[in-house]
A and B are shown apart, each in its own frame.
Chain A
């Protein structure tokens, strides 16, 4: 039984994904870059997964929106794996421009050559382009992708080439509205994606994730860690603390140092509390943890 089946993905969707995989198998860039990577974490959330699969099968691009710790990147990597495609991860920032995305010319010995960027490679080799924090970039810089992301499915490389996208190419954007430096996507860009609003991971799924990653963790500890995560999430939602503390990666990291003998309170302070710089907020977060995890626990 494969993972999609175990997660309860609809059989017709599983079948369609398998067909997609078979159809484009082997059509990729040679060498390591073309490898289909096994994701480090599994995404738990059948409903979201099914919606995303439908969008990609319909040859649409997908935009995953949601706050921290909703598994946007994990879902994107899982989708690439499920569809059997290599992925190119493009981290967006304020100075992203066309040459960063598409490629630029460079000097090679005695001639000027084109050095392809991640979007170009993705388009050529049928990869999945994960456009991480897409709303960090300026909308003007993204205009070069308009023709790539809509029905035309072409990539204009100014002065060199006009590339038609490989039929297996898909783009998955992720964005967290509200981070420092983020902005709203303009209508032109937003309309080129199907959008999934990602929910915060459910308690059962979080428990499952913790137990899968750290099977040695006790049931009681696991429940308290989950409770801390949701209490901090609620607190951040009510603007009592900054969202920095609602950090799933930090929680997992804390558990991994607990395994090496650090006390749970110390580990949680390292993984979560100390990520906040305001001393009052730090105390509030520490109180949440101290009200859940006994000092004597190891």
Chain B
């Protein structure tokens, strides 16, 4: 952790401790000139969250922003708030008095001589306050300044609503201040300006990128053409080329060459899937083209995560520790008595007395299982409402596993226009970055049988030929696809790909993965009526979640169960 991060963390913690809440980002953080966090001011800010009414104070403070000389009045208002919070909390926290004195001492050394400032300026008021705190001589301040100081202190002693009113009246009396109530439009402008600033910062930091699609640049009206193609598709009038273009424009180009794709389709598009196509896409590099819906969803997923970033980061730390404990435990050696190895002196008597030659110790060492984890996410339209939650949870899981240097791959799948699209959101080789997961995007149906077979192509990469593969599937156990299943020998050579047929097909796909040594388990997030399907497909290897926030715990539980099994097999 960089020093600045450590100092920031300290400052944030000072605020949280005092507020006795951890669910917000402090609005301000205070540091001394040497960069160390200021315990007094940060504690005071935290206390403000616990003892002042935000609904009353925010409009008051915001109103100051739109009047004249906002810096001066904001600083004077802060002097009132400091006094108010201190007085309210001094009994409860005896340390505040000394911290305040220390703060005043430091503050005075940082200011220039009082005669350098204008009369009634906030700087002189601030110095006056510090001197008062330290019991110093106030002779150099004018009568009016002393009156102002007393008036501000009086305002500070009042309850919130009166405090705001009294402070405004003090400002009126001493500065002929005209209170401005932040009008709705101004408030909107204020908030809007803030958002714009945030967006500008993020743009400048390269966090977002603005891209125009290649077709638009050619003046070709890409969106219109996609809608036209969609309409044609509904009427079954699209050509293969148009379907392919649609998939490419929506999910990005295929990561495999045409020749490789032919081989893969030959291998996986068999049986019920004979007339289906496959498409493997990545999660977004600069040269990839996505549909605007996907781009927009990616922004939403990211924003959702970042809005609660602190919480997610803490969860990642918790999951990492939990998994680390479990893995370390699995590596602990067992000591057994054998007839060769290291001599156990205490047991030597057994040779003569009991004719037992097992007086040697040997440690059975359990190596860390060499495994990869594949998180396979159903990305059909039924998940539409939970896209942001799924992306955030998957990101947490991936980051936790990455912290433990376990290769993890995250793949989403859906079926659109006869194509089963597998999108690799994060590959094994990405050991530092899992941002691709925010490209999680739902569309179409879920042809589970084909997707589970085809995902093998993404697993079998050079450098990741692990003996053990753990495949965790987020599913509703309701495979279905609008594209029919091919059934040879029938008059009409197709049947609907849903219900019993789809379940049977998915069951066969899971069985086939298991026969290849993969541990397949499901995280079930669906309705009661799909439970039978679930048992048929996954046997006992599943956990059920009722809301997406339970996904991470479910994944950990399944992982630990599977790891315990793997250990027994060593």
Contact = CB atoms under 8 A, between A and B. Distances in A.
A239 B97 contact: no
18 contacts: A94-B332, A105-B350, A106-B346, A106-B349, A111-B353, A112-B349, A179-B325, A180-B328, A181-B328, A181-B329, A224-B94, A231-B17, A235-B17, A240-B9, A287-B14, A291-B39, A292-B93, A294-B94
Contacts of A295: 98
B326 interface: yes
A138 B13 CA distance: 38
- Contact size class for B? 35 or more
Interface stretch (B131-139, B314-322, B407-415): B314-322
A192 to B, nearest CB: 20
Interface string A266-293: 0000000000000110011001101111
Given A180-B325, A239-B317, A296-B98, A291 B17 contact: yes
Contacts of B335: 95
A178 interface: yes
B552 interface: no
Nearest to B20: A234
Interface of B: 1, 6, 9-10, 13-14, 16-18, 20, 22, 37, 39, 43, 93-95, 97-99, 314, 317-318, 321-322, 325-326, 328-329, 332, 334-335, 346, 349-350, 353-354, 560
Interface string A231-245: 100110011100000
A240 B16 contact: yes
Nearest to A140: B334
Contacts of B94: 220, 224, 293-294, 297
Nearest to B560: A184
Say whether chain A's binding surface is mostly helix, strand, loop, or mixed: loop
Contacts of A182: 325, 329
B353 A112 contact: yes
Given A94-B332, A291-B18, A238 B314 contact: yes
A178 B322 CA distance: 7
A101 B93 CA distance: 50
A284 B314 contact: no
A183 interface: yes
Say whether chain B's binding surface is mostly helix, strand, loop, or mixed: helix
A238 to B, nearest CB: 4
A284 B9 CA distance: 8
Interface of A: 94-95, 105-107, 111-112, 138, 178-184, 220, 224, 231, 234-235, 238-240, 279-280, 283-284, 287-288, 290-297
B20 A231 contact: yes
Contacts of A179: 325
B317 to A, nearest CB: 5
B6 A280 contact: yes
A243 B18 CA distance: 19
Contacts of B326: 183
B95 A290 contact: yes
Contacts of B332: 94
Contacts of B99: 290-291
B93 A287 contact: no
Nearest to A97: B335
Given A112-B350, A224-B93, A238-B22, 18 more contacts: A94-B329, A138-B334, A178-B322, A184-B560, A220-B94, A238-B314, A239-B317, A240-B314, A280-B6, A283-B10, A284-B9, A291-B17, A291-B39, A291-B93, A291-B95, A293-B95, A294-B95, A296-B98
A291 B43 contact: yes
A287 B98 contact: no
Interface centre among B13, B326, B335 (most CB of A within 10 A): B13
B322 A287 contact: no
Interface centre among A239, A279, A297 (most CB of B within 10 A): A239
Contacts of A238: 16, 22, 314
Given A280-B10, A290-B95, A107 B325 contact: no
Contacts of A280: 1, 6, 9-10
